[in-house]
């Protein structure tokens, strides 16, 4: 099993809907998780980080961490066409004090008007 796995998508939702992106992880990562947004041809941009079990909300974004089931998700409420991008899930390597992250392959999201 890879350290971080994402449902590859693509995911397509209408404007105003809730987009749900999921990520599972292995025992080789620690409890630090990150969601990045990457527009085509651009570099990844950090949008959420989550370190403890439960939900964390920031505007239209909610990150959810479930340690028992080893998954982390990102919900985007009131999706906008500008949210169309690839979303990368990342997790810190277990035991790494060097801040090394493992990245998933990304889920491509399209929000259509």
Partner 1 sequence: EADIYQTPRYLVIGTGKKITLECSQTMGHDKMYWYQQDPGMELHLIHYSYGVNSTEKGDLSSESTVSRIRTEHFPLTLESARPSHTSQYLCASSELRQGRPYEQYFGPGTRLTVT
Q: Which of 12, 46, 53, 78 binds partner 1 (CB under 8 A)?
A: 46
Query: Residue count at the site for partner 1 (CB under 8 A)?
Result: 21
Question: How many CA within 13 A on the CB side of residue 53?
Answer: 5
Q: Which of 72, 101, 109, 111 binds partner 1 (CB under 8 A)?
A: 101
Binding flag, residue 63, partner 1 (CB under 8 A): no
Cβ-based neighbours of 33, under 8 Å, separated by 6 or more = 23, 25, 49, 50, 51, 63, 65, 72, 89, 90, 91, 92
Phi/psi zone of residue 59: left (φ > 0), alpha (ψ -120 to 50 degrees), beta?
left
- CA-to-CA distance for 104 and 86, rounded, in angstroms? 11
Binding flag, residue 61, partner 1 (CB under 8 A): no
Handedness of CA 71, 74, 75, 81 (dihedral sign): negative
Interface with partner 1 by CB under 8 A: which range of 13-21, 41-49, 63-71, 76-84? 41-49
Q: Which of 104, 107, 109, 111 binds partner 1 (CB under 8 A)?
A: 104
Report, in Å, the least distance between residue 7 CB and partner 1: 14
Binding flag, residue 77, partner 1 (CB under 8 A): no
Residues that bind partner 1 (CB under 8 A): 32, 34, 42-46, 49, 51, 88, 90, 92, 97-101, 103-106
């Amino acid at each position: 099993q890879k350290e971080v796995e994402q449902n590859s998508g693509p995911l397509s939702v209408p404007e105003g809907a809730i987009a749900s992106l999921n990520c599972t992880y292995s025992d080789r990562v620690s409890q630090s998780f990150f969601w990045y947004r990457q527009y085509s041809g651009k570099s990844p941009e950090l949008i959420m980080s989550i370190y403890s079990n439960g939900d964390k909300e920031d505007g239209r974004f909610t990150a959810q961490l479930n340690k028992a089931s080893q998954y982390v998700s990102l919900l985007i409420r009131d999706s906008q066409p500008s949210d169309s991008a690839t979303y990368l899930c990342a997790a810190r390597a277990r035991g790494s004090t060097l801040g090394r992250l493992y990245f998933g392959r990304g889920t491509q999201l399209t929000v259509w008007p």
